[in-house]
Structure 1
């Protein structure tokens, strides 16, 4: 889908749940970001809903979302109650996006969830938030929160789906209000994620600062290649064989999933450092302000509704501030 007449796009940001989240969410609001999407992976980060509640209480305008919530980490009822809590505290500024848990589950040696299971989970959570009685594990269940103990049903929160393949895109059309994906959905609003950094005047795109700023996202390509396709795939990438050899030296075969995604999208391990010169993998926006604005305009013309900027590196506050300024 393309929309040549649409040359604007919402600019949001994506951040991990951790000690700095609420401070960075406050900064993002000051910088004019439309929304903060919080990452979700129990083996890697703290609880996202606790941080969302804190950030929501410290802000007044900016929206929030999860990118992404994983069905296997919370029961349907626990998830509905968590969503209702953040929706109430934020005054309706919250949407939740679900995914199959590709990275989170692989860090525990498990496969991503089947899409069918994700679809059933979303439908149950939506029903609970609407005040319906739904069947879970063979029993009828409903949100029983008394008046004054939770927001009244229906709870005001959109439900989105992380959809990158054709089956997920088709499922989203049936169960979701929008998607996070690489390509615009034919009928639903689409947000897409981009790493990157704004260059200083005269700065080279492969300077040490740039490599440190985007390095955690560049390393993701190696992590995923090894986790999904194995040794041959990662060995074909620049520096991949050496990276793999270090992982396999440090852990026996049954425990390598504990190291593969270490520092995922936030930090670089010693074995990841040489990979920062690989300019590929996760989509990134690296350039001076004019180039950043041009890329945002291009994405809007393709039909992307929202760009989720995912800063990383040693100075996330700098990245948030300069990117927002470049996008204006």
Structure 2
């Protein structure tokens, strides 16, 4: 199983990706979250210039944020900067859309978008929004077509599985592992968490800073996909909702997604402090080194071929080192 990493795209992500390469990580993915992050493609371009071996890719792109020609051209540019190292993952937009007040894009749109994107990279003429277009880049403006880049698709249900199996080269999963994961020769799983010391409590300051942002996604996901009742079923859920519902209804999505994968927002802190932290090891890939090794062995038996770990907290290098040591021992 390959051990990769991910970063919630930040100004220091290129340096962190270079660090991950030195440590031995297989690939680095960065998020497409324009409401809180610098541009994903600019970040990857800078990382390409600072690295030589590590795989690079956006994980995941949200199609509605860019015209397929723009995405194809960005992919071509990164491929020129990092030949043989680029992969691209697509998703319907959890935080990438919901944090801006939109719902996820329909799978029918995803299907059409990826078909157009792939055809553009092959150099074909495609029709999009009623117009015919083609990558016309002359020599020196992009690699010659066709441009072959692996595509992973984030899918959890049958509609997504159908699109991924027909149009993708692999699966990019997060929040939960679908049963069909083993059907793919390349199946990546994005996980958050931290390696705890022996006897370290779930509510230690280290656990809160390094594992807390990933743990908070259990509340964000429950609220977005299950509504308030799903949140109330979680330890600390009532306190989390009290903070969120103090925000005007039309702006609650802003309160929910503030600090996404970076830090605990006000609602997350309220839930953590009243006992929500007790679910840290259930909601994230957290535990002692031995516990994480056993969990990864289970993931491997279920068909996972790439674990993607996102470090959090004030010491990213230490989190990357600790996880890699646990994963490869």
TM-score bracket relative to the smaller structure:
over 0.9
Structure 2 partner of 1:115: 107
Structure 1 partner of 2:116: 124
1:269 matched to 2:261: no
Count of aligned positions = 319
Q: 1:207 to 1:72 in 2, by over 3 A?
A: same
Structure 1 partner of 2:309: 309
User: 1:198-277 residue pairs with structure 2 within 5 A?
Assistant: 198-249=195-246, 251-276=247-272, 277=277
1:102 matched to 2:57: no
1:170 matched to 2:166: no
- Secondary structure of 2:216's counterpart equals helix
Structure 2 partner of 1:47: 39
Q: 1:241 to 1:202 in 2, by over 3 A?
A: closer
8 A contact 1:218–1:278 mirrored in 2: no
* Cα distance in structure 2, aligned partners of 1:100 and 1:64: 20
* Cα distance in structure 2, aligned partners of 1:292 and 1:232: 31
Query: Residues 268-308 of structure 1: CA distance to partner in whole angstroms, max 9, x if unpaired?
Result: 12331233314159752223333322322222222211000
TM-score, with structure 1 as normaliser: 0.92
Structure 2 partner of 1:154: 146
* Cα distance in structure 1, aligned partners of 2:109 and 2:278: 36
Q: How far 1:168 moved relative to its partner?
A: 0.7
Q: How far 1:68 moved relative to its partner?
A: 0.5
* Cα distance in structure 2, aligned partners of 1:106 and 1:309: 23
User: 1:74-89 residue pairs with structure 2 within 5 A?
Assistant: 74-89=66-81
> Any stretches of 5+ residues in structure 1 without a counterpart?
1-8
TM-score, with structure 2 as normaliser: 0.92
Query: Residues 163-195 of structure 1: CA distance to partner in whole angstroms, max 9, x if unpaired?
Result: 111221121110111111223241441111221
* Cα distance in structure 1, aligned partners of 2:197 and 2:113: 46
> Any stretches of 5+ residues in structure 2 without a counterpart?
none
1:20 matched to 2:12: yes
Structure 2 partner of 1:57: 49
Of stretches 318-327 and 113-122 in structure 1, the one that deviates more from structure 2 is: 318-327
- Secondary structure of 1:314's counterpart equals coil
* Cα distance in structure 2, aligned partners of 1:207 and 1:153: 53
- Secondary structure of 1:64's counterpart equals strand
Q: 1:32 to 1:160 in 2, by over 3 A?
A: same
Structure 1 partner of 2:187: 190
8 A contact 2:311–2:319 mirrored in 1: yes
Q: How far 1:48 moved relative to its partner?
A: 0.6
Q: 1:298 to 1:235 in 2, by over 3 A?
A: closer
* Cα distance in structure 1, aligned partners of 2:201 and 2:268: 21
Query: Residues 218-277 of structure 1: CA distance to partner in whole angstroms, max 9, x if unpaired?
Result: 11111222233322222222222222222222x211121121111011111233123331
Q: 1:287 to 1:258 in 2, by over 3 A?
A: closer
* Cα distance in structure 2, aligned partners of 1:115 and 1:278: 36
* Cα distance in structure 1, aligned partners of 2:225 and 2:294: 34
Q: Which protein has greater RCO, CA pairs closer than 8 Å, 6+ apart?
A: 1
8 A contact 1:192–1:307 mirrored in 2: yes
8 A contact 1:215–1:275 mirrored in 2: no
* Cα distance in structure 2, aligned partners of 1:125 and 1:282: 38
* Cα distance in structure 2, aligned partners of 1:82 and 1:23: 21
- Secondary structure of 1:127's counterpart equals helix
Q: How far 1:100 moved relative to its partner?
A: 0.5
Structure 1 partner of 2:83: 91
Query: Residues 123-147 of structure 1: CA distance to partner in whole angstroms, max 9, x if unpaired?
Result: 1000101111111112211000011
Q: Determine which structure has the larger helix proportion and give its number.
A: 2
